[in-house]
Structure formats: C-alpha cells, structure tokens
Amino acid sequence: MEKITGTQLSLLIFPCIAPTVILVIPGLMAKISKQDAWMTILPASLIGALSIKFINTFCYRNSAM
C-alpha cells in the first residue's frame, strides 16, 4: 500500500482550507468586530497557515509508522 507524503496531503487539503480562510472566517470575525473588520485579515490568514502547518507536521510525524 502506497502512502502519500506531507506535501501531497497539504496540496490536497489546501483547496478546502483556502476558501474557508478567504470567505468564512473574515465574515464571522466581521460580525463580531463590526467597524474594525479590516483587522480580521491577519487572524484569518494565521488560522489558515497554522491549519496547513499542523496537518503537514502531523503527516510527517506519522509517516514513519
């Protein structure tokens, strides 16, 4: 049985995470922050980047199994 690499997993999951980061998270944060909605770009980007980093790290850690 062949296994996929961390990079391959990241490339498979990125198309799901990117639209969420671009559309959903800023919209939710804008509801909370009201007039300071422009500041939601940084946290939304960080959440997306950390999600991809976590998945990639998890895959590399478990690839030795």
Specify the pLDDT at position 43: 78
* Domains of the chain by residue range: 6-62
pLDDT of 16-54, one tens digit each? 777 777 777 777 877 887 777 777 777 777 877 888 788
Residues 1-40 as b or e (16 or more Cβ within 10 Å = b): eeeeebeebbeeeeeebeeebeeebbeebbeeeeeeeeeb
Specify the pLDDT at position 64: 55
Specify the pLDDT at position 19: 78
Specify the pLDDT at position 23: 77
Specify the pLDDT at position 60: 67
Phi and psi for 3 in degrees, rounded to 5? -110, 150
